Chains A and B, each alone.
Chain A
Amino acid sequence: MKIVASGIRIPIHLLYVVVSLFFVLPLWWSLASSLRPLDEIFKYTSPFSIKALLLDRIDVSAYLTIFGERGFGIAILNSVFVATATVMGGLVINGLAGFVFAVFQFPGRQLLFFITVLSFLVPFEAISIPLYNVIKAFGWIDSYYALIIPGLANGVVIFLFRQFFAQIPRELAEAARMDGAGWLTILWKIYLPLSKPVIISAGLLIFLFQWESFLWPLICTRSEHLKVIQVALAGFQQRYTTLWNELFAASSIATLIPLIILLPLQRFYIQGVTASGFKG
C-alpha cells in the first residue's frame, strides 16, 4: 500500500496534517488555557483569533492552586499508586495464567480459555454494579483493595500472554524438563527473557485501563483521601464549573503522565500486539 506517484504527495501531507490537528488542537488549546489567567481564556475564542492558541506569557498560578488548596496532589498520587500496583500484580497473575493456558494440557483447558476470552468482551462497566455487592460483602468498599484487586485479572492480557507464549517452541521447555528444571524455573529462565514486547504491551494495557477507570472508583470509594484523579476531576468540574484554567491544568497533568510512559514505548506496544497475533 505504498503511495508511489510523487505528484500526490503534497495533498497527502495536507490530509495527514488535518487529521493530526484534529487530534492535537483541542489538547493544545486546553494546555495553553491552563497557562493563562482565568479571565483571558475565552478572550480570543469568540470571535476566533489565532491568539487563542498562542501564549505571550506563561502564568502558572492555576498549577499552584490545584496542588495547593485543591488537593489534586493526593488524587494524582492515588492514581499512580493504584495503577502501578495493578500493573505489578496483574503482570504476575495474568502472565501465570497465560503460561498455564499456553504450556499445560489439562481437561477443560479449551473451555476455561474460552470463558476467559469471553470475559474480556464484558467491559468493566457492566460488572461494576454487581461487583459493588461482592466487594461490599468482603468489606472492602472505600479502600485501596476495592480500587486495585478487581483490576488485576484481565482477559485481554491473559489472551496476549497466552498467544505470545504459545509461539515459543515447546521443545525448549521439554528439554529443560529433562534436565530436571521445575516449571517456575522454565518460566523464569526460558519464557520471560523472550517476552519483553508482550510484557510491555500487557503492562501498558493494564496501566491505561486503571488510569482511565472512572465508574468503578466513583462507586467504590467515598473518602476524599482515596479519590483517584479521574473522579477528583469530575467532582471538581461539577463543583467549580467555571474555573477553567485549574480544570485544564489538572487535566493536562492527568494526560501527560500516561503519555510520558506511553509514547517512548509506543514501538514495543505495537510489537507486542503484532507478535501476539491479535486476531480475534
Chain B
Amino acid sequence: MYPIATTLLGSLYAESIVQAGKDVFVGFQNYAQLFRDPVFWQSFWVTIRLNLVINPLQVLLALLLAIMANQRLRGISFYRLLFFIPLGVSLPIASILWRTLLDPNSGLVNSLLNLLGISSQPFLISKDQALWCIVAVATWKGVSFWMIFLWAGLQDIPQQLYEAARIDGAGRLGRFIRITLPLLRRPLLFVLITDTAVNFLLFVPMFLLTRGGPSYSTNVLMYEAYKSGFVYGDMGRALALVMVLLLLVVATVAMQFRLFSQEEGS
C-alpha cells in the first residue's frame, strides 16, 4: 500500500517538473522570447508589487485576528464562529460577490463611502486601484484560514509564562514581544511561507474580476501563463512562465527562511 501512496505522490509532482524541464532543453527560445517581451516584464513587476504588499498584510491581519480569537471574553465563541465564516466562501464566490459590492455606480461600498461624505471611487476599472482591490478581496477571504494556524500556535503557549512575566512587571506589549512573538515563530514562518506560495499563484480574482486589466495593471504571471497555455495555445510559453514563477517562489521563501533564522540568532 505504501508504494502506491508515494508513487502517486511522486508521479504527481515529479512528472510535472520533468514535463516543464523537458521544455527547457527542447527550446531555450521560450525563455529568450519571454525575456525580450515587454508584456512579460510588466507582468513580472505586477506580480512582485502584489506580493510585497499582500503577504505581510495577510500575515499581520491573521495574527491580529488570532489574538482576538484567543481572548477570554463574554460571547467569544460567537465571534469566533463569525470569524470562521469566510472559510466557507470560495475565492470565485468572493470575487463575484465583491465585483457587485465594488461596482462603481451602484455598489454597496461606494454608497457607504457616499454616506461618509467620500465621493465614489472607480475601484476595479481604474488601473491604479484594481490591483489593491484584488488584494482586499483575497485578504477578506484568506485571513480566516491563516488565522487557524496562528491561533493553534497561541494556544500552545503555556499560560504560566504570561503569569510569571506579569509578576515580573512586564506590560502587555512587553509580554507580547518577549513571549508571544518568539514562541509563535514557527507557526508564523509556516503561515508566511505557505501564504507567499499561494499568493504568487493567485489567479481567480484576475480571471473573474479584471481579466488582467485595466491596461495590464493586474496581469500577474499566473494569469499570463493561463492565457498563453489555454487561450493562445502556446504551451511552451505557459510552462516557461510557470517555471519562472516557481523560481520566484523558491527564491522568496529561501529569503524568508534566512530572515527568520537570523532573528533567532540575535
Contacts and interface: CB of A to CB of B under 8 A. Distances in A.
Interface of A: 1-3, 9, 12-13, 15-16, 19-20, 22-24, 26-27, 29-30, 42, 45-48, 52, 93-94, 96-97, 100, 112, 115-116, 119-123, 125-127, 129-134, 150, 152-153, 155, 158, 208, 211-212, 214-215, 219, 230, 233-234, 237, 244, 247-248, 251, 254-259, 262-263, 266, 269-270, 273-274, 277-280
Chain A interface helix/strand/loop/mixed? helix
A208 to B, nearest CB: 7
A117 to B, nearest CB: 10
Most buried by A among B114, B156, B201: B201
A26 B89 CA distance: 11
Interface of B: 1-2, 4-6, 8-9, 11-13, 15-17, 19-20, 65, 67-68, 70-73, 75, 79-93, 96-101, 105-108, 110-112, 114-115, 140, 144, 148-149, 151-156, 162, 172, 175-176, 180, 186-187, 189-190, 193-194, 197-198, 201, 203-204, 207-208, 222, 225-226, 229-230, 235, 238-239, 242, 245-246, 249, 253
Nearest to A154: B9
B6 A16 contact: no
Contacts of A130: 15-17, 19-20, 239, 242
Contact of A48 (B8, B89, B112, B207): B112
Given A93-B8, A129-B242, A19 B65 contact: yes
8 contacts: A16-B75, A46-B105, A46-B111, A121-B193, A153-B8, A255-B89, A257-B88, A274-B152
Given A45-B106, A93-B5, A133-B19, A1 B89 contact: no
A47 B115 contact: yes
B222 to A, nearest CB: 6
A7 B110 CA distance: 36
Contacts of A9: 73
A256 B71 contact: no
A278 B198 contact: no
Contact of A20 (B67, B79, B187): B79
A115 B144 CA distance: 28
Nearest to A49: B111
B152 A134 contact: no
Contacts of B16: 127, 130-131, 134
